[in-house]
A and B are shown apart, each in its own frame.
Chain A
């Protein structure tokens, strides 16, 4: 098994160590996870699946908590607005 996993965040390719969460991939891509209702960029807060600040769309499924989702090869991740 490869040590790296490749996926896209908002269309840009990124490679992360296998086992990293989607929240880490989004951070490494320099992207916010979501835009708040008043337009602020937001990233993870609690890191344990409670705050929902890290939610993103993964492979078309919205509102996934990126801190609880391991990266998988070929995943398509998009920030939420």
Chain B
């Protein structure tokens, strides 16, 4: 039997939590599903030893006063019919029926291939931070942080506060762009405070604009990184490289359901409604705007999904303000052309199938490359190499087919019979 919800939220980061709270406060039978072991998403992920910091604590507390059903460690992989999702949890298949759906699937880092980027201990910036939160000791380790976007600074500050040495932060954006971005931050007190705090946390850490990673070196793990800085290359010793090039939205589930995607983002109206009736979307999948925008969009989606439109509309002006911030992020951290030349012919672009750059550049499209090289056909389903090739070769992504995440074959067969596996098992034992 499926579990049924009036409003089901997919994704337990800030947008999803805000949506679930607003929906449940309206009296709707609400559920929230997340792949991770705990709610909070990437930005509110914490180590077991850390207490919940504001503003996350306030939202978590508010969630606890509602009766939202929380399903963690649960990954949605298909929608066999409208209003019914299938998800895998541990060894079970869950059927989740909904009247209304809020997609709050967040974003991931964009990775750009450069020689040596596949070496162990070359990770995403957010990736390394997540590993440290999961218990990886980082004290006295040298971590070069390189790529683009505000996440680099936040990660460097976090790692440093846990004892890491940061030899340098390389930001590919120009000083001019960063200065203009900094000036616009002055208009907002919250952002100014955040920026001041970061500056204090990173005092004494070398920061280079116009700088990017060129090649990682090592045998079984990274030992040094060559960077390009003001037109000159230099090699710096390190234990880890934390490298990410801003964020890309997780739109796969929205695309699978048939929501309209525009310019890489899920298209929504002022009430976070997608092109599909009863399907809403909030947070990073609609634009990369950060925490504040995600929370407001989540609230709007939760209110609109529970038919509290006037209340939702009161938040629209606030959302516009943070949407402007999203556009500034986009302009400031747009990728410079030189990065298209980072990969050498033998640099692996598709890490699942080990497809090098030289084999990809022969092809004119993502589809052709997939068919001829298996690029994007491994377990990540193109989530890593897709955004990379989009930038490197200006390819557009393909359509999405179920399952949107690799699942066990037994999950697929359970799907075909329309019976969750554990239910069949229970019946057999009766």
The chain A residues found within 8 Å of chain B, CB to CB, are 16-21, 23-24, 27-28, 32, 36-38, 40-53, 55, 63, 67-68, 70
Contact = CB atoms under 8 A, between A and B. Distances in A.
B127 A47 contact: yes
B108 A46 contact: yes
Nearest to B122: A45
Given A47-B124, A68-B36, A52 B379 contact: yes
B416 interface: no
Contact of B131 (A37, A47, A63): A47
B77 to A, nearest CB: 13
Contact of B406 (A18, A44, A63): A63
A51 B380 contact: yes
B156 to A, nearest CB: 16
- Nearest 3 Cβ contacts at the A-B interface: A20-B135, A47-B130, A47-B127
A49 B131 CA distance: 11
Contacts of B160: none
Contacts of B128: 47
A21 B380 contact: no
A68 B131 contact: no
A17 B352 CA distance: 30
Contacts of A19: 47-49, 134-135
Given A41-B220, A45-B123, A48-B42, A21 B135 contact: yes
Given A44-B131, A50-B380, A52-B379, 11 more contacts: A17-B48, A19-B48, A24-B134, A44-B127, A47-B126, A48-B36, A49-B35, A49-B36, A51-B384, A68-B37, A68-B73
17 contacts: A23-B131, A24-B131, A37-B353, A38-B354, A40-B118, A42-B120, A43-B120, A43-B221, A44-B131, A46-B124, A47-B130, A48-B42, A48-B130, A49-B35, A50-B380, A52-B378, A68-B37
Interface string B29-54: 00000011100001000011100000
Interface of B (DSSP majority class): loop
B383 interface: yes
A81 B383 CA distance: 22
Contacts of A50: 108, 380, 383-384
Given A27-B136, A68-B35, A45 B384 contact: yes
B118 A67 contact: no
A52 B127 CA distance: 12
Interface of B: 35-37, 42, 47-49, 73, 108-109, 111, 118-124, 126-131, 134-137, 220-221, 348, 351-354, 378-380, 383-384, 406
Contacts of B130: 47-48, 67
A42 B48 contact: no
Contacts of A23: 131, 134, 136
Contacts of A36: 118, 348, 351, 354
Nearest to B126: A47
Contacts of B406: 52, 63
A7 B352 CA distance: 27
A48 B351 CA distance: 16
A57 to B, nearest CB: 14
Contact of A43 (B121, B126, B137): B121
B367 to A, nearest CB: 21
B131 A45 contact: no
B114 to A, nearest CB: 13
Contact of B108 (A42, A48, A63): A48
B50 to A, nearest CB: 11
A54 to B, nearest CB: 9
Given A45-B124, A47-B124, A70 B37 contact: yes
- In this complex, the member of A23, A45, A55 whose beta carbon has the largest number of chain B beta carbons within 10 angstroms is A45
A12 to B, nearest CB: 16
A52 B42 CA distance: 17
Contacts of B354: 36-38, 40
Contact of A52 (B121, B134, B380): B380
A5 B220 CA distance: 27
A43 B119 CA distance: 8
A20 B47 CA distance: 9
Contact of A42 (B36, B49, B118, B137): B118
Contact of B126 (A24, A48, A68): A48
Nearest to B135: A20
A44 to B, nearest CB: 6
B259 to A, nearest CB: 20
A51 B383 contact: yes
